[in-house]
Amino acid sequence: MTEEPTPRHGPLHGLRVVEIATLAAGPTVATTLGEFGAEVIKVEEPGSGDPMRTWGDRRDGIGLLWKSIGRNKRFTTLDLHTPAGQALLHRLLDVSDVFVAGNRPSALARWGLDYESVHAAHPHVVMVHVTGYGRGGPRSDRPGYGTLAEAMSGFAHQTGEPDGPPTLPPFMLADGVAGLAATYGVMMALYHRDVHGADGQLVDVSLVEPLTRLLESAALSYDQLGTVKGRSGNMLPASAPRNTYRTADGRWLAVSSASPSIAARVFRAVGREDMAHNPDYVDPVRRQERAAEVDQAVADWVGRHTLDEAMTSFDAAEAAAAPVYDAPALLADEHLRARGTFRRVPDPDFGHVTVQAPVARLSETPGRVDHLARGLGADNDAVYGGLLGLAPDKLDDLRAEGTI
């Protein structure tokens, strides 16, 4: 874990983002842009703020995930239910490049912040709208959540043991995948605007479709073969042996065998040279037919060895295997520590917080974590007074009437 390097401009320096989205998907877009130099102004409801502030594990009433997802942002409050709040939001959009929303389309329309209104008033702005079901269709205005997307996408249907129920992930998978998909959509829209001299446009992303894209093999199999994929636990017959295996000292490791050569290395690592040279176990089609047998062979061998012993054998054979980490092991891993995957960032609330560094590693303009999430409305004066030029008495009036 390392402290931040010397400050430097990121590749998105000069880009300004206004975010009114809440929870995870939309805010993830703004978080990623902010890591690489964009100025992000987060707009929250006065008095309550983003529900993510108190979501999940908390310390002193502050959500831990909130601290990370709010990194590098400027925090303002604004009541978008009022004409004064809507007008002030439009003033922000006048001087911004990207608008991130996650509200239902009907709410945005009531506020005059739907895409058609925004584009008419601010044609240069790229608007990204992340919703449960996307624009158009009978569900477009229904409230959507990641859990529902994980069910509808086919993820839950394929996850879990064969004789068990459909299984949902224990984290915000659909929100995270949608946030990443929307981020690269924003970058493509900005490229089109800035390189080709075009206006801004709408980036329409649902929670369902990005996850469905990752699971596309199920739709392809049904379309072309008429087969419906079910649950197979950790096993993937086309990549057998592929599973998690318990070691003699009660720990776990995972093995993958995506190609014939990798499968042969696994067989050598577990002392099964006979399998490594037998087409029945190396050829992908034949190996798939014997998936249960090869899985059991690996499980039996791993069960007789400690994790360190097993990993030594797998590493020596250059097989694809890795220990199953919990959080302490993840933070202690020497490779991740060498790469600076996690960074310890100063924070006024908690002293220091260990958060994950930006994922994409740019050699010349790396991403940064300048600061973590701050208090509700912490930057109202700097944004409304400094950026928009509102006088102190005007700010006092806006506070008194509850607009900010």
Which tokens sit at 61? 């009433």
Q: Is the peptide bond between 237 and the residue preceding it cis, with omega within 30 degrees of 0? A: no
Beta strand pairing status for 98-101 and 321-323?
unpaired
Beta strands in 161-311 (DSSP E): 202-206, 243-246, 252-255
Distance of CA 110 to the CA centre of its chain: 29
What would the two tokens of residue 284 be? 């992908």
DSSP string computed for 237-249: GGG-S-EEEE-TT
Task: Report d(CA 69, CA 254) in Å as an integer.
Answer: 30
Largest CA distance in the chain: 83
Structure-block tokens of residue 65: 């995930």
Q: Is 223 exposed, middle or buried (0-12, 13-18, 19+ CB in 10 A)?
A: exposed
349 tagged catalytic: no
DSSP string computed for 31-93: HHHHHTT-EEEEEE-TTT--GGGG-SSEETTEEHHHHHHTTTEEEEE--TTSHHHHHHHHHHH
Gyration radius of the chain over CA positions: 25
Active-site residue among 50, 97, 175, 379? 175
146 vs 26: CA distance, rounded Å: 12
State the Cα–Cα distance between residues 372 and 339, nearest whole angstrom.
21
Catalytically active residues are 175
